[in-house]
Structure 1
Amino acid sequence: MKKYIPFFIVSLIVFLSIIIIFTKGSVYTGPEVFLPGYKYGKPLDKVENENVKNFVKISKDFGDGSNVLLIVYDKNSFFNNSSTKKLMLLQNELQSKDYIINILSPLNLVKVIGFNKAFYVKNGVLEKEILKDDNAKTLISRDGKYAVLNLIFSPQTNARKHINEVENIAKKYFEQFYLFGEPVIDNELFKELLKQTYVYPIIMFILIVIFFYFQVRYFKISLFIVFTPITAAIITIGLFFLTGRPLNTLTVMNVSFLLIIGSGYGLHYYNAFHRFNSLEETKKHISRPILFSMLTTVAGFMSFLFVEIEAFKELGILVSIGLVITVILIFTLGHSFLRHNKTFKKPSSLGIRFLGNKVATISLIVFLILGIFSPFLIKNISVKSDMVSYFSKNSKIRQAYKIMEGVFNFREPIYLVIEKETPLLATDNEKIKKIKENLEKYNLIASVDFPVDVPIPILYNFAKSTPSLKYYISSRNKIRLVINLTADGYYNVDQVKNYIDSNIPKDVYKYYISGSALIWNDINNNVRKAQIESLSFAAILIFAMVFIIFRKIQTTLSVMVPILFTTIMNFAVMSIFNIKLDISTAITSSILMGLVIDYSIHLASEEYRTKSPKDAILNVGPPILANGLGLILGFSVLLFSSLKLFQSIAILLILGISVGLYFTLIIQPLLLKKKK
């Protein structure tokens, strides 16, 4: 009965963890988790970031929340009774929803004649005269076939929860329509992150179990090998949710990382057991390599602790805790499992053989040449990222973006809020008009929306009864200009901001600039910094641990060489495949360092024991190859994700692991031999 006690304890912990996951678990998709200074539960206006504070401030100043662009298409154009009527019915139904407080559209665009206001709809038909109005550029296409409804949600509303309803309403009136905006992106992200948490790991589990079966040749063992990291992942996620925190775009990958990475430890443990045919000898010879390979992988993830971005820190901590739990389970449950199951087949060698020094030397020369030329590729890596880049080219999000850029020539806007200590007067209109004209001359700005022809005092009065005008004015002394950026403007928003600064008469007006583009610009700058910091700390921590293991500088360097070339190749692949350095791909280099070093440590440890690189390859080569191919198979599941960010991670990790495997199994034996 004693032999079942460890399994009973673990089962109880897993059961409690599952209850916690389903009762307290949640997923958060907001981008602000990647900002330095952000803390979960901390109000956004308390985050030490000017652009985040302005983002919150504009919502309070103008009483609106998130906005979503609904782009509808009619092949006959909207300048006819039937199409205008459909657009009007759609707008009215959306306007009736309590979560939408305002809609800007061609139907309610105001034109002021004298002291009277009018609209561009006459006798139930949208007039072509609207095309002459500069403020209509982002609401109706030049051919009249595309119309935009800018849906403004109430500040207290979680717009993401209503996207499906908005879609269903739009379907009633138009066959072809597109939604764009952060709530739409959040909605798609949320769906995919749920798959990342609950669906993809199951597929990975099945694939890895099947593949490991062909190496260990015993189904119970392959099942147990993959069972341990899954158990560790459940316990880790349960502990995390117990703190009240949600998973985010990065930490949601914790389950996949633990499943794929942690399964390698059990594989090495079982292969060692078969080599030594004794539990005592197995623990004596394999415990140290497994322990230190786990610690070096943990070092790769724990390097994220030195980064200012909380999401990186959380991922590092979660995966590190999970890997520690995995190894503990291997050394406890694994020992008990093997003791009471003694009928095993010999694991497959997977065709592993020692290829000799000639192949290794030629391969090393090729890698050195690639390494020399890699800086010319690496310098071309783009750091321009946003939430649109998360999605594949054929996604609805990208299609909407193409229409915005191709038909309307703009991306999401930024906002210029201008205020004055005294009420704004009709005389201020000329100054605002000049600011608007100067901004529209800039090649990074597509257009600027503001009804400059309406005297501001009249605008304030009209806004009380006209929601579309209220969008532009908050009070008698505060207005908002909508600055529509070009695609280049979005990615060079720093330059746009500086240009705006140079065109505001600071002695007359106070102002601030707000928009998600500014926040993403800060995120991109921090990702670049995070990449350098995490790589540096990972390299230092791993080097220190490897030196502690082998206590010889020559052996340490020979073990470190594979991760050096793997890291270089990782950045070269990013350049070749035009993969941007963003919040997802920034983590791959440190992870690869932690993964590939595992192979090197196992090979170097076995070479140290046998004093023969050839014997080391024949002994630990099969589990190294099986582990690497298992990782590749597991990460390949992410290639089928609808999110480009997961596809990019998969490509980089698959190719990086392939390079690490080749270098370790082919070239490292030569380096281990040369160190003698």
Structure 2
Amino acid sequence: MNSQEFYRRFVWQYQKFWLAVVLAFTIFCGWQVAHLPVVTSTDAIIPRDSLWHYYENFREQFGADDGVAVVLHSPSGIFTPETLAYIQKLTSIFEDIEEVESVLSVTNVEDIRGGEEIFEVEPLIGEEIPADTKSLSYLKERARRNPLIFRNLVSEDFKTTLLLLRTNYRGEDLDFENRLVHKVKHILQKNPPPTSVEIHLAGWPVVNVNMAAYMNKDLMVFIPGCFFLLCLLIYVFLHSWRAVLGAAIIINLSLVAAMASLKLVGGALSPMTSVLAPLTMALALADVIHLTMTYFKLSPKERAVSRAVAITWAPCFLTSLTTAIGFGSLMISRVPSIREFGGAAALAMFIEYFLTFTLFAFLLPWIRRGKFKIGFNKTLVEPLAKSYPWWSYKALILFILVAGISISQISKIKVDTNVIDFFHHSTPVYQDVVFVDKHLGGAQTIEISLENPRGDFLDPKLLKKIDEVARWLEKHPLFYQAISPAEFFKLMNRAFHQENDKYFKIPDSRELISQYLLLYGGDELAHFLNEDQNWARISARTPEHSSEKINEAIRELNKKLEEVFKGTGVKFNVTGKTYLVNRTADDIVKSQVESLATAAFLIFGIMFLVLRSLKLGLLSIPSNAFPLVVNFGFMGIMGIPLNTSTATISAVAIGIAVDDTIHFLIRYRRNRKNREPISAVKNTLREKGNAVFTTSLSLIAAFLVLGVSKFIPTVQFGMLSALVIGLALLADVLLLPAIIYLLRRIF
């Protein structure tokens, strides 16, 4: 039984059954989509490995390091009665937010004071805000002499201050940051600042929520924009409103299936996975176009759906399979969002294939009753085929030249996950972060965890070593201010010696340190030293966002920690949200290499098996390697970094780009049986040219829709993917025929 007879007997004759299957499946997918979670955090790109679990324990012990920074700036200075009263008011209101553990501000920060028989730990500013200049000057001087305040909560010019909202440990509460940031914004709207005081928001929750907001806006544009654009292209290519309606049904069902697939693989909607929607819609159109054009190219006597299916089902299955392999290769990534994106997209490819050869195939007789016209025959396909092989050598020279230039530029590509540069520079979130970086040394921190299994950190020698690391950090060009338990004991030592700056140092006596700790009645030290005094924290603020630079600084920091704590038995670990996000840069490189190698091996292996020819299998490699080489070269020339978005392009692109190569070579192999190479190429161009141009241009258009995003990685993904598909199109219709002509005695 041939494939045509099989389709007629087991699919075509049971249309009602298959339609019922499609309906039930659609309902199931709709249910999954309704319960698809949304991730509003960069946690989505952090591998859930031992470092992540260590960070969770660290955060549970010392509090979250990814809080919200509410920054106030006043040109006249913040130490005025009106501004301090406003800070005090905000501090009190923010403390009532359910998601906030505590609020640290200039009004409630601990000030350790001493004198003759006096030792007290009190807020810098009490309930009453002083109004006289002398008292305000005194408070300002107290702040200047306190490292917990100066260059930490207030800027060096005293014109900028921050309120640090430490969040409750949240586990896997996906909506936590969204709730928190919206509550903060609502409070600020209800309580506007005094005249001339401006407010900026920074911190990981703010960045994450803005990413999610831009993602939602993107989806509101991507889905309808891509849908209407694809429908328009179908009409331009096929001149059939019925074909537009039939394709629109498949596009929409494929979209729902893709989102359901994301839920089924355990994923969530995130800035990384948001490109799945337009990508799936465009790819769903490819099989529709190939089936439709094959059906209408059949002579009236042969024109049967089963005949069109028999011709196209195998090549389309192979293209769906290779595309799925390209996506599926991303599942070896250690980055969760990349892994989820790859798994969902791979599953969606098989679903859209099933929908095309059931539901859409059933609609073909109805589409046939309308007007129909194939678009590129006279304008592109026929002139290209007719002039072949005249242009072959010219095309080869051009392709070799472009590939050579691209290869020379690949080494310029940098691996850099700069989350702030994900936003356009005109966006408020970008401008706020830049402002905080400039005036307060940033809102993000690198955390150092120190554990002493042999004892505790009340040993003066260990405290001095901790202080040595903190001072080294402050001298490092990438760090701004470092806080550790040492600061507290230095402040207490000075207070016990009548505020003499000579004693602003770690005491030499363990007994004295223990006495200070016993008398200390504040809460802030608990964020830097645990109750058993055997686990300590150093927190260093940094205005740098480049993962390349931060990772280099962390390597230097690890060397310093090794040097300082050698022989002490102290275990140290660099941790924190900023560290984990930037560490993914290394995972991205590994993912890129491993995914691309896996995809290439499997895809070209399938090509060799399907074509049943070593020669034709080798012939497919140049036309699919060329787009990838030029893509990397273009990234090097334009300074586009390898990040969480651009890292997925190569594996995805090779799976998509090889589709038209499969259609071309399968048809060429058939034509070659009774024709010489030049004639076989001409016929192949005429027979497959329309479908190749139509599917490629549809994909390019869908990817270009991503260019309207406010999220830079999405724009980069869209533009680079469009570039790769465009180059793959040129390679299939120009480079591939040119190589065949050059080696015509072999092929």
TM-score (structure 1 length as normaliser)? 0.90
Change (3 A) 1:61 1:261: same
| From 329, 339, 342, the counterpart of 1:316 | 342
CA distance in 1: counterparts of 2:617 and 2:435, whole angstroms: 54
Distance in 1, matches of 2:536 and 2:516, equals 10
Describe the shift of the 1:314–1:242 C-alpha distance in structure 2 as closer, same or farther (beyond 3 A).
closer
Matched residue count: 663
Q: How does 1:276-355 map to 2 (within 5 A)?
A: 276-277=298-299, 278-279=303-304, 280-343=306-369, 344-349=371-376, 351-352=379-380, 353-354=383-384, 355=387
8 Å contact from structure 2 (residues 30, 260) kept in 1: yes
Partner of 1:81: 81
SS at match of 2:412: coil
SS at match of 1:407: helix
1:438-479: per-residue Cα shift (whole Å, max 9, x none)?
Answer: 333333332212424234557645764x44444333325144
| Cα separation, partners in 2 of 1:462 and 1:664, compared to 1, 3 Å | farther
What's the CA shift for 1:254?
A: 2.9
| Alpha-carbon distance in structure 1 between the residues aligned to 2:596 and 2:684 | 29
1:173 aligns with 2:185: no
**Change in 2 beyond 3 A, CA 1:201/1:672:** farther
CA distance in 2, matches of 1:598, 1:29: 34
Which of 534, 538, 541 matches 1:484? 541
Alpha-carbon displacement from aligned partner over 1:398-453 (angstroms, at most 9, x marks no partner): 22331233223346112234455246267765444334323333333322124242
- Does the alignment pair 1:21 with 2:48? no
Between the aligned partners of 1:428 and 1:610, the Cα distance in structure 2 is 80
Aligned-partner SS, 1:583 = coil
Matched, 1:513 2:574: yes
Q: Which moved more, 1:125-134 or 1:387-396?
A: 125-134
Determine if the alignment matches structure 1 residue 222 to structure 2 residue 244.
yes
For 1:419 and 1:341, the matched residues in 2 are separated by 72
Q: Which residue of the partner structure matches residue 123 of structure 1?
A: 130
Deviations 1:571-630 (A, max 9, x none): 112222222211211110111111111122222233334443223223322222221221
Matches within 5 A, 1:78-227: 78-114=78-114, 115-117=119-121, 120-121=124-125, 123=130, 125=136, 127-129=139-141, 130-135=143-148, 136-156=150-170, 158-171=176-189, 172-174=191-193, 176-195=198-217, 200-227=222-249
Amino acid in the other structure paired with 1:26: P
Distance (whole Å) between structure 2 residues aligned to residue 119 and residue 671 of structure 1: 78
Closer/same/farther in 2, CA of residues 81 and 216 from structure 1, 3 Å limit: same
Tell me what 2:496 maps to.
Answer: none
Change in Cα spacing, 1:412 to 1:347, as seen in structure 2 (3 Å) is same
Aligned partners of 2:734 and 2:638: how far apart in 1? Answer: 26
CA shift at 1:548, angstroms? Answer: 1.9
Decide whether the 8 Å contact of 1:229 with 1:322 is kept in 2: no
What letter is aligned with 2:152? T
Residues 406 and 634, structure 2, Cα contact 8 Å, conserved in 1: no
Give per-residue Cα distances to partners, 1:126-157, cap 9 Å, x unaligned.
74423454442132223333211111011147
- Give CA-to-partner distance per residue, 1:313-351, whole Å, 9 cap, x none: 433332222111212222222332113443232221272
- SS at the partner of 1:454? helix
SS at match of 1:379: helix
State how far apart, in whole Å, the 2-side matches of 1:276 and 1:463 are. Answer: 89
What SS does the corresponding residue of 1:474 show, helix, strand or coil? coil
Secondary structure in structure 1 of the residue aligned to 2:604: helix
SS for the counterpart of 2:481 is strand
Q: Secondary structure at the match of 2:368?
A: coil
Using the alignment, how far apart are the partners of 1:119 and 1:83 within structure 2?
Answer: 17
Return the index of the structure with the highest Cα Rg.
2
SS in 1 for 2:414: coil
Is 1:408 the counterpart of 2:476? The answer is no
**Residue 310 of structure 1, CA deviation:** 4.6
Paired residues of 2:273 and 2:337 also in contact (CA < 8 A)? yes
In the TM superposition, residue 92 of structure 1 has moved relative to its aligned partner by 2.0
**1:163 partner letter:** V
Q: Which amino acid aligns with 1:166?
A: V
Q: Which amino acid aligns with 1:173?
A: P
- Between the aligned partners of 2:474 and 2:273, the Cα distance in structure 1 is 41
TM-superposed CA distance for 1:212, in Å, is: 1.3
1:475 — aligned with what? 531
Distance of aligned partners of 1:540 and 1:56 in 2 relative to their CA distance in 1, 3 Å threshold: same
Report which stretch shifted further, 541-550 or 612-621.
Answer: 612-621
Structure 2 CA distance for partners of 1:574 and 1:462, relative to 1, 3 Å: farther
Distance 1:322 1:183 in 2: 32
User: Is the Cα–Cα contact under 8 Å of residues 438 and 503 in structure 1 kept in the other structure?
Assistant: no
* 2:620 paired with 1:554: no
Please tell me whether residue 433 in structure 1 is matched to residue 467 in structure 2.
Answer: yes
Out of 544, 547, 568, the residue aligned to residue 629 of structure 2 is 568
1:279-312, CA deviations, whole angstroms, 9 ceiling, x for partnerless residues?
Answer: 3442333223222222221221222244444544
Distance in 2 between residues matched to 1:511 and 1:642, nearest whole Å: 40
Q: What are the residue-to-residue correspondences of 1:581-600 with 2, within 5 Å?
A: 581-600=642-661
Residue 503 of structure 1 and its aligned partner are, at CA, apart by: 2.4
Tell me if structure 1 keeps the 8 A contact 2:631–2:720.
Answer: yes
Amino acid corresponding to residue 595 of structure 2 in structure 1:
S
Aligned CA distance change for structure 1 residues 509 and 238 (closer, same or farther; 3 Å): closer
- Residues 554-581 of structure 1 show CA distances to partners (whole Å, capped at 9, x for unaligned) of 3223322121110011111222222221
> Which has the higher mean CA deviation after the structures are superposed, 522-531 or 483-492?
483-492
CA shift, 1:29, in A, is 4.2
How big is each residue's C-alpha offset from its partner over 1:40-92, in whole Å with a ceiling of 9 and x where there is no partner?
Answer: xxxxxxx3x2x323311222222557412222222332132222222222222
* Uncovered stretches (5+) of structure 1, i.e. residues with no partner: 39-46
Between stretches 643-652 and 420-429, larger displacement belongs to 420-429
Comparing 119-128 with 258-267, greater Cα deviation is found at 119-128
* Residues 61-72 of structure 1: pairs in structure 2 closer than 5 A: 61-64=61-64, 66-72=66-72
Measured at CA, do residues 342 and 73 of structure 1 come closer, stay the same or move farther in structure 2, by a change above 3 Å?
A: same
Judge conservation of contact 1:638–1:646 (CA < 8 Å) in 2: yes
Instruction: Determine the C-alpha separation between the residues in 2 that align with 1:58 and 1:578.
Output: 36
Structure 1 residue 97 displacement after superposition:
2.3
Q: 1:106 to 1:310 in 2, by over 3 A?
A: closer
Q: Give the structure 2 partner of residue 662 of structure 1.
A: 730
TM-score w.r.t. length of structure 2: 0.82
**Root mean square deviation of aligned Cα:** 2.9
Q: Following the alignment from structure 1 to structure 2, what is the Cα–Cα distance between the partners of residues 89 and 642?
A: 35
Structure-2 residue corresponding to 1:626: 694
State the distance in 1 between where 2:389 and 2:71 align.
63
* 1:537 counterpart residue number: 598
Q: Closer, same or farther in 2 for the Cα pair 1:423/1:572, shift >3 Å?
A: closer
Distance 1:225 1:432, change over 3 A: same
Distance 2:441 2:63 in 1: 28
Alignment partners' CA distance in 2, 1:427 and 1:327: 68
Shift of 1:378: 1.3
The range that moved more, 201-210 or 659-668, is 659-668
Partner of 1:42: none
Distance 1:517 1:500, change over 3 A: farther
1:89-111 CA distance string (max 9 Å, x none): 22221123232222222333333
Q: How far apart are residue 671 of structure 1 and its match?
A: 2.0
1:187–1:245 distance in 2 versus 1, CA, 3 Å: same
Contact in 2 for aligned 1:254/1:315 (Cα 8 Å): yes
Please tell me whether residue 648 in structure 1 is matched to residue 694 in structure 2.
no
What is the percent sequence identity of the aligned residues?
18
Distance 1:472 1:458, change over 3 A: farther
Q: Which secondary structure does the structure 1 equivalent of 2:530 belong to?
A: strand
Out of 478, 487, 494, the position equivalent to 2:555 is: 494
